[in-house]
Structure 1
Amino acid sequence: MVATRFAPSPTGRLHLGHAYSAAMALKAARAAGGVMRLRIDDLDQGRSRPEHVEGIFEDLRWLGIGWDGEVLFESERSDEYASGLERLRERGLVYPCFCTRADIQEALAAPHGPGGAHYPGTCRGRPDDPARRAREAHSWRLDAGRALDVAGGLPTWREEGRLLRSGREDFDDVILARKDAPASYHLACVIDDAAQGVTLVVRGADLRASTPVQRLLQELLGLGEPDYLHHRLVTFEDGRRLAKRDLAPTLAAMREEGVDGRELAARLMDQSLPLGFRLTEPT
């Protein structure tokens, strides 16, 4: 059975881009006679707000977009993330990193890729020091080179009927957890997709670059391999991205202006956007 998911962060009210992503996830699920799950990405407790969680439910009800099964809250799943991280640690696939962001930026030898500066590997290969970990802030990084060797090479994934291949440049020693965050987006995403039985990941094309490392984690942790659908992004007509920090028009504001939510959702499923907006491939 096909299972998709919508996983918003409760750090502000939803906007039209969120509505489009939820509509695409629901459309894909219903077209296959499947289900859509709802997950609340509230790991960032410093920015997540209970009122925004309620706002997500309110906005989805207004759109007529329902979900199947119980809502999963990532803030309640620290034990599952810790278990996944420990499995990687036992196999020597992660290492503690004590570098600050300033340390990394100052490493002149750090190469740059599509996502910016790669981590220069400062802490990779150092003996683990539990005493230091007990007294100093640190993160846990994936040893990408070793992980690829253990996985048997570069992972592939299926997207809209095509088999896509990753390249070595797609991998970095990404952070999987920090003292103030039990899991990064990558680790939480793959563990929770597996827990919710997600078989088709529907999300914005700006997250396509996350797929190689997430496929690698799925293989390392023995998790199921979903298919992927990365849709275009909703932008303003001039190409500017919608973002909470840029005060993009919220669904709550559209509702107050008298917009019919169910009609809007139907139009989004047909990829027909309101005036002033368009669908854009990220550059």
Structure 2
Amino acid sequence: MTLLTFRFAPSPNGELHLGHAYSALLNQKMAAQTGGRLLLRIEDIDVTRCTPEFEAGIFRDLEWLGLHWELPVRRQSEHFAEYREVLERLIAEELVYPAFMSRGEIRAFIAETGGRDWPRDPDGVPLYPPLDKHLPVQERKRRIADNVPFAWRLDVEAAMARVTASLSWVEFTDETMSATRAIEAQPRAWGDVIVARRDIPTSYHLAVVVDDALQGVSHVVRGQDLYSATGVQCLLQQLLGLPQPRYFHHRLILGADGRKLSKSFKDTGLASLSEAGMSPQDVRRLVGF
């Protein structure tokens, strides 16, 4: 019998807060209830913002909370060669293209053409304009040779044309895992998302589907803020022939002002709560355990 496999996958670009505590504890609880495994993954592909100090803080805070996970811990920054291999497949199959427009150029193009009516993704970010998708091959090569900065973007229409089965995912309706429903994936809502950068051969979307497959993750338990992004990941899973986990997108822990907690604002950091005299049991009660 194959064990169910869960994972908690923080990024070491800030201190863990109460929202992370809830997600980590929920993954541990669901793994324990099913007799499954709990993995810890360090998602540190952003080499400019992720630091060894923040990573050490993750281990410290999770151990303080009483979490236990299997070893070894997978660090994404140690597996760029694996992501590069997958990216090369997408390039060879002409499912991605180099996108050269800077943020300023995107804003200027939208202002000149679509203005406020320009379509936006579920996070409210304007979709990438179609200009680079139609650049001649020689022009693409010239710009790359001239070291013009670019990112690899998924050609979502070309990708959808390759889809051979219904594009959906299985979502658990609550943390008891007693009922599920099928959710229709809508990757087009995100437009041509970034799947890699020139200097980093992956993105969150690409790395997470590769890692989940390589680690045998059967159940992805994460925040509601990533619910819509699952559609993009379902598309990549089908394109790459990867197994699809089952998903549960849990409630978010909000601040007193109703805002989603954020590392950048140092919201309710676990280290600060510990220093203020709170116990792990106090934190568990705060997040509803």
- TM-score, with normalisation over the residues of structure 2? 0.88
1:128-178 deviation per Cα after TM superposition (whole angstroms, max 9, x unaligned): 333421321111110000101101366100001100112364241101111
**Residues 5-84 of structure 1: pairs in structure 2 closer than 5 A:** 5-84=7-86
Q: Return the offset for 1:180.
A: 3.3
Moved over 3 A (4+): 264-268
**Residues 214-233 of structure 1: pairs in structure 2 closer than 5 A:** 214-233=233-252
Q: Return the offset for 1:265.
A: 6.0
Q: Residue type of the partner of 2:96?
A: V
Q: Return the offset for 1:125.
A: 2.8
Segments of 5+ residues of structure 2 without an aligned counterpart are 173-179
Q: Return the offset for 1:127.
A: 2.8
1:146 aligned to which of 151, 155, 158: 158
Q: Return the offset for 1:264.
A: 4.2
Is 2:189 the counterpart of 1:170? yes
Q: Return the offset for 1:237.
A: 3.0
1:11-39 deviation per Cα after TM superposition (whole angstroms, max 9, x unaligned): 12111111111011111111111011111
**Residues 54-133 of structure 1: pairs in structure 2 closer than 5 A:** 54-108=56-110, 109=114, 110-116=118-124, 117-128=126-137, 129-133=140-144
Q: Tell me, in whole angstroms, the C-alpha distance in 2 between the residues paired with 1:248 and 1:171.
A: 28
Is 2:266 the counterpart of 1:247? yes
Partner of 2:214: 195
Partner of 1:235: 254
Q: Tell me, in whole angstroms, the C-alpha distance in 1 between the residues paired with 2:187 and 2:43.
A: 29
2:288 aligned to which of 252, 256, 272: 272
Counterpart secondary structure, 1:44 = coil
Q: Residue type of the partner of 1:272?
A: G
1:90-148 deviation per Cα after TM superposition (whole angstroms, max 9, x unaligned): 11101111111112122233423433311121111323333421321111110000101
How many residues align structurally? 270
Segments of 5+ residues of structure 1 without an aligned counterpart are 274-283
Alpha carbons of 1:139 and 1:148: their partners in 2 closer, same or farther (altered >3 Å)? Answer: same
Q: Tell me, in whole angstroms, the C-alpha distance in 2 between the residues paired with 1:200 and 1:81.
A: 22
For the aligned residues, what is the CA RMSD?
1.7
Q: Residue type of the partner of 1:247?
A: K
Q: Tell me, in whole angstroms, the C-alpha distance in 2 between the residues paired with 1:45 and 1:238.
A: 32
Q: Is the 8 A contact 1:154 1:168 kept in 2?
A: no
Question: Percent same amino acid among aligned pairs?
Answer: 45
Q: Is the 8 A contact 2:156 2:188 kept in 1?
A: no
Q: Return the offset for 1:266.
A: 4.8
